[in-house]
Amino acid sequence: MLPRQEFPDYMADDRPRLAMTVPEMLKALFDAKLVSPEDVWMQPKWVAGGVFEAECDFYKFIRARDLAKNEGLVLRHLLRLTILAGEFRSRSGGDTDYERIGELATRACKQVDPRYTDRFLAAEAEARTLAPV
């Protein structure tokens, strides 16, 4: 009997695995918690970071990424980020990084529509006071 010959595994991926980005982690969490059986197509994007890199100039970011048709979606995304950063800040004991993220997102939103931004954040603050802890 001949000795068994080992062949290299050409299909193996030997590259090191990269850490997931924050948008990829949020998508994975969304997929894990999705109750319905149908597949929901989502594509993670780096929106808030892009706005911050554009010096919080909302319209500069929208034009650079050709998102004119989706600017309302981007605005709501930034407003929700402001709320999320506020929640993280309060739970972490006042971390200034979260405070800075909230301030930058709010500044970008106020550039678009200051009254809507103020109403949205005021309504969220009111809802937070009414919600049971």
Q: What confidence tens digit (pLDDT) does each residue in 15-29 have? A: 777 888 877 887 788
Nearest-angstrom CA–CA distance, 88 and 90:
5
Cβ contacts of 98 within 8 Å, gap of 6 or more: 85, 86, 88, 89, 92
Place of tokens 């706005």: 51
Q: Residue 11: how many CB atoms within 10 A of its CB? A: 5
Q: Are 108 and 88 in contact (CB under 8 A)?
A: no
Higher pLDDT, 49 or 25: 49
Q: What angle do CA 122, 77, 86 make, to 5 degrees?
A: 50
pLDDT at 1 over 60: no
Q: What is the pTM of this model?
A: 0.68
Element holding 99 (H helix, E strand): helix 96-112
Structure tokens at 44: 């993670």
